[in-house]
Every structure is written in structure tokens, then in C-alpha cells.
Amino acid sequence: MVVNNAEQLLLQAKQSNRVALAKLLSIVERGGQPARDLTRLVWGSADSTYVVGITGAPGAGKSTLTDQLISQVRKRLLEVAVVAIDPTSPFSGGAILGDRVRMQEHATDGGVFIRSMATRGHLGGLALAVPDAIRLLAAVQFPYVFIETVGVGQVEVEIVGAADTTAVVINPGWGDAVQANKAGLLEIADLFVINKADRDGSRDTRRDIELMLEMSSFEGWIPPIIETVATEGKGIEEVFEAIESHREYLEKSGIGKKRREARILEELNHVVQAEINRKVSQLLSEPSFAAKKAELISGDIDPYSLAMELLKFEDD
Ligand SMILES: Nc1nc2c(ncn2[C@@H]2O[C@H](COP(=O)(O)OP(=O)(O)O)[C@@H](O)[C@H]2O)c(=O)[nH]1
Ligand SMILES: [Mg+2]
């Protein structure tokens, strides 16, 4: 039997070899055939990992909060992996010194695995890479995976919204909740964190969120609103407890299972689209297309007919 590199790395990663895990995540990040092979390898492995999404505007305190949540998990003697998709995140090195010093504390803790994922200006790729990364981290048995993304843009919101529990981080101040609403964050929020509650205005922000929640139709789970001062560790325990309550709710109601199923189908949707794009690029670069292109330009064939011909599709 030929044991390929990825298989070997996966075996090592399952034995807590973090270097091997980092290499596997690089494979995921780069995409292409090796990433597809890796997904085949990991698919279907037992999945008891709980995925928590943390999102909000840049500077809202997502990384600081994540850092504190890591401590909560570690207090319970569990391991945690963090995937940060924020280009300005301390995890990816774009931070002020204070943050970095704190992160380094966790960086030497073998029970914490922190990884930043680059967008490389290719958000479509991210929609594929993140679920793959989560699955990989689940296969190596992390009980918790935290995903930090900036809550701007449809892809980022979609990615974080696919978590089991999504925390939306807002700051006190006029209009912050309204901005979050505009970005589509309210719809995906399972809990709200008003971070920087050491500043004025958190009561107004709470009222804004409550009003918006009243206007939307939440059934069953009503997202709690929790005030935190992440830099001082205030309110963090409550946030963690809210995550656990939401988890319990998802499990008891069966909604968690449904969500995971929807997530897999959504992933299939992304994969199908990506594969079609790949196929189309291939077709368009084939030499036989040159003649077709000439026909198109001379007006002998219209783009719709040519597209159908290329894809071997038939008219409806
Ligand atoms: N005053 C105050 N500052 C905070 C709080 N939480 C985070 N910060 C600061 O806000 C800045 C941005 O935090 P960061 O976690 O990097 O935000 P992110 O961009 O959302 O990940 C940093 O300077 C933090 O130290 C807080 O609760 N209160
Ligand atoms: Mg950050």
C-alpha cells in the first residue's frame, strides 16, 4: 500500500503533532487536487467538535475576546483550535504589542492551536477552505474550534454563520448595532457581545439590539446580549456559558443536527460551483476553443449557444 504524504501527516496530526497539522492546513489553504484528496481522506470521521464563530467589525475586540475564550476552554482542560480569517488579526501578526504578548502565552500551550488563514484576495476559495479546515481540526479531535472573521462581506458572514454558535461582537456607541444589522450579522447571531462595555453607551446599544430582535421573528432561541470588557476578562465566563446553553438548546431541539446537514449541503453547493468554474476555465483554454472563439467573434454563433455547446448542456 502506498502511504502518501497527506496520509502520513494526518496520522501524525492525530497524535498531536502540530507541525504535521500546520502542514495539512497549508494543503487545505492552497487548494487544488491535494486539498481535494485530503478532504476525501478526512470525510466521514467522527465529528464531536463544536464550532464557535466570532464576528464583528474590525477593532471590535474579536481577537481579545477569542483569546479570553481560549482561557475558558483551557480552564476546563480541553483543547482548542482557532482559525482567524481577519487580515488585521493578532493571530496573523498585524497587531499591537499587547495583544501579541498575550497570544504568545497561548502559543506555547500545546493544547491551543492557532492558525490564520489568508484570503489571498480570493474569497471564493475561502468558502471552500474554511469548512475543509474545520473538518480537519475535527478529525484530529479538537473539542472546540473558534473561527474569527471580520463581519463584512457576504462570504465572511456566510462562513461564520455556518458555525454551531455564532457570537456577534458589537461596541457601545450610536449606530453600531444598526451597522451590524446592515451587514447581515443580526440574522446569524446566536448571541450578542457588547464588548468595550467600559465605554459609555452600552445600554443604548443593548436597547438597539433588543428593538431589532423584536422586529425580527426569532423562534425558540432568543439570542442573549452580554456585556464584556475583554481586555479585563469581564463577562467572559458569561459568554462561555451562553455558548454552552446554546449548544444544549441545539442538541435538545434537534436544530443542531439540521444546521449541520444544511451546512453540508451548502458546502456541496460551493464545491459544485467551484468545480464548474474550474471546468469552464479548462474548456476555455483548450486549443479547440480558439476556432469557436473565432466563430463567436465573427457572429456565426451566439454566446448562449456556445456556452451550451461547451458545457454539453441542452436547452430547457
Ligand atoms: N477599552 C477596551 N478596549 C478593548 C476591549 N477589548 C478589546 N479592546 C482593544 O481594542 C483593540 C482591538 O481589539 P482586537 O481584539 O484586536 O479587535 P478585532 O479587530 O475585533 O480582533 C485592541 O487595542 C484591544 O486592546 C475592551 O473591552 N475595552
Ligand atoms: Mg482580530
State residue 122's pLDDT score.
54
State residue 95's pLDDT score.
39
State residue 267's pLDDT score.
86
Is the shortest distance between the CB of 223 and ligand 1 below 6 Å?
Answer: no
- The residue whose CA has the least distance to atom 8 of ligand 1 is 61
Looking at the domain assignment, is residue 9 inside a domain?
A: no
Looking at the domain assignment, is residue 10 inside a domain?
A: no
Looking at the domain assignment, is residue 53 inside a domain?
A: yes
Is the shortest distance between the CB of 62 and ligand 1 below 6 Å?
Answer: yes
- Can you give the CATH number for the domain in which 141 is found? 3.40.50.300
Instruction: Decide which of 119 and 281 is more confident.
Output: 281
Per-residue model confidence as pLDDT tens digits over 213-224: 988 877 789 999
Mean pLDDT, the chain, whole residue set: 86
Report d(CA 61, CA 149) in Å as an integer.
Answer: 11
Residue 296 has pLDDT above 70, yes or no: yes
Is the shortest distance between the CB of 195 and ligand 1 below 6 Å?
Answer: yes
Q: Which three cell numbers stand for residue 12?
A: 501524525
Q: Which residues surround ligand 2, an ion (CB under 5 A)?
A: 62-63, 86, 89
Identify the top-confidence range among 85-94, 120-129, 193-202. Answer: 193-202
Exposure b/e, 191-223, CB count within 10 A at least 16 = b: bbbbbbbeeebbebbbebbeebbeeeeeeeeeb
Distance, CA 316 to ligand 2 centroid (Å)? 48
Looking at the domain assignment, is residue 7 inside a domain?
A: no
Instruction: Decide which of 94 and 237 is more confident.
Output: 237
Looking at the domain assignment, is residue 155 inside a domain?
A: yes
Report d(CA 55, CA 211) in Å as an integer.
Answer: 21
- The residue whose CA has the least distance to atom 14 of ligand 1 is 61
Is the shortest distance between the CB of 230 and ligand 1 below 6 Å?
Answer: yes
State residue 316's pLDDT score.
74
Share of the chain above pLDDT 90, in %: 53
- Closest atom of ligand 1 to CA, residue 67: 15
Instruction: Decide which of 174 and 169 is more confident.
Output: 169
Instruction: Decide which of 130 and 243 is more confident.
Output: 243
10 Å Cβ neighbour count for 274? Answer: 16
Helix 5-14 vs helix 32-42: crossing angle, to nearest 10: 50
Mean pLDDT, to the nearest integer, of 262-284? 88
State residue 312's pLDDT score.
82
Expressed as residue numbers, the domain containing 118 is: 45-253
- The residue whose CA has the least distance to atom 3 of ligand 1 is 196
Looking at the domain assignment, is residue 81 inside a domain?
A: yes
Per-residue model confidence as pLDDT tens digits over 152-167: 777 778 888 789 999 9
Distance, CA 236 to ligand 1 centroid (Å)? 14
- The residue whose CA has the least distance to atom 2 of ligand 1 is 196
State residue 186's pLDDT score.
87
Per-residue model confidence as pLDDT tens digits over 33-75: 899 999 999 998 767 899 999 999 889 999 999 999 999 999 9
Is the shortest distance between the CB of 97 and ligand 1 below 6 Å?
Answer: no
Report d(CA 196, CA 135) in Å as an integer.
Answer: 33
Looking at the domain assignment, is residue 51 inside a domain?
A: yes
Looking at the domain assignment, is residue 125 inside a domain?
A: yes
State residue 4's pLDDT score.
62
